[in-house]
Structure formats: C-alpha cells, structure tokens
C-alpha cells in the first residue's frame, strides 16, 4: 500500500501552536511515527504539508499518477472553507480519511461543517496524533 498523508495550513506549527488544543507533538514527530508504522507493515507513507490551498490541490492531482492508493488528510481550516479541495478529492477518486487532531464538534460552530466529510471513507476527530495512526492502520488494511 502507498499512502499519502496531507497536512493543511498551520499544521507546520504543531508543538507550539495552541498546545492546549493541539498538544506538544510536532509535525515531524507525527510524520516519523506514521512512516515507522507504515514500514512495520510493509507499506509506504509519503507526507506533504502546505499552507497554500492550490499546492494541496496540485498534490492531490499528482496522487492520481504516482501510485497513491489511499489519502489521509487533515486540511486544517480549509476543511471548513474549501470547495476546491473537495472537488480535487472527488476528481482523483482515491479513497480518503479525514483527520482532525482536536474534536472540532466541541469547538466553535464554524468548525462543525466540513466540505470533505461527505466524500470521506471516515472521519476521525479528537484523538490527537493517534487519529492519523488509526487512519493509517485502516488504510493499510483496506
Ligand atoms: C484541525 C481543526 C481545524 O478546525 C483547524 O482549523 C485546524 C486543525 C485539527 O486538526 O483539529 O487547523 O483540522
């Protein structure tokens, strides 16, 4: 299995960004852990972070021809705003799981709607960095 992990805006600041909400793990910690879990299961995991909506759209398009079997995406705030990311995911038709570190449903109302959830295989929110790992295990077993 070839799994692509996409991280959206501001997730490069994990570890220092609102640690009471997002915890102390850095994005590098999370990516390293996912790569380890993938390697332990003879799978491959590539990771990509961008603060730019178009760069995320381009990376999703590239997944169509780079052998990606499954996408895990934490689109950050673009979750709640981006029809373009939703359309890109629909266009490539690669199964994906939506991940959020925090429980978006117990936060501000504007975080309760996601443009991605309707198309996702599943949605994980509120489990911290473990949410990515749970999603990865599911993707590898699919
Ligand atoms: C987030 C939740 C979003 O509402 C927020 O904009 C983020 C991170 C999370 O992982 O909990 O940037 O996706």
Other beta carbons less than 10 A from residue 121's beta carbon: 14
CA 90 to ligand 1 center in whole angstroms: 21
Parallel, antiparallel or unpaired: strands 70-74 and 96-100: parallel
Residue of 75, 77, 106 to mutate, ligand 1, most atoms within 8 A of C-beta: 77
CATH code of 2-141, in short, is: 3.40.50.9100
Residues 104-123 have a mean pLDDT of: 98
pTM exceeds cut of 0.90: yes
Quick check: helix, strand or coil at residue 5?
A: strand
Within 6 A (CB) of ligand 1 lie 10, 74, 76-77, 79, 100-102, 104, 111
Residues 6+ apart with CB under 8 A from 104: 79, 111, 112, 114, 125, 126
Q: Which atom of ligand 1 is nearest to the CA of 10?
A: 12
Token readout for 99 is: 């991940």
pLDDT, one tens digit per residue, over 68-99 is: 999 999 999 999 999 999 999 999 999 999 99
DSSP 74: E
Per-residue pLDDT tens over the stretch 38-76: 999 999 999 999 999 999 999 999 999 999 999 999 999
């Amino acid at each position: 299995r070839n799994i692509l992990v996409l991280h959206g805006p501001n997730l490069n600041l994990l570890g220092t960004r609102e640690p009471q909400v997002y915890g102390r793990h850095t994005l590098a910690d999370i990516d390293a852990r996912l790569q380890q879990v993938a390697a332990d299961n003879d799978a491959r995991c590539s990771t990509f972070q961008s603060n730019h909506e178009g760069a995320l759209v381009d990376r999703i398009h590239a997944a169509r021809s780079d052998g990606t079997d499954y996408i895990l995406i934490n689109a950050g705030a673009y979750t709640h705003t981006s029809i373009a990311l939703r359309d890109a995911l629909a266009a490539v038709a690669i199964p994906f799981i939506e991940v959020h570190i925090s429980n978006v449903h117990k936060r501000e109302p504007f975080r309760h709607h996601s443009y991605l959830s309707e198309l996702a295989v599943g949605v994980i929110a509120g489990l911290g960095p473990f949410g990515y790992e749970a999603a990865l295990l599911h993707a590898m077993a699919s």
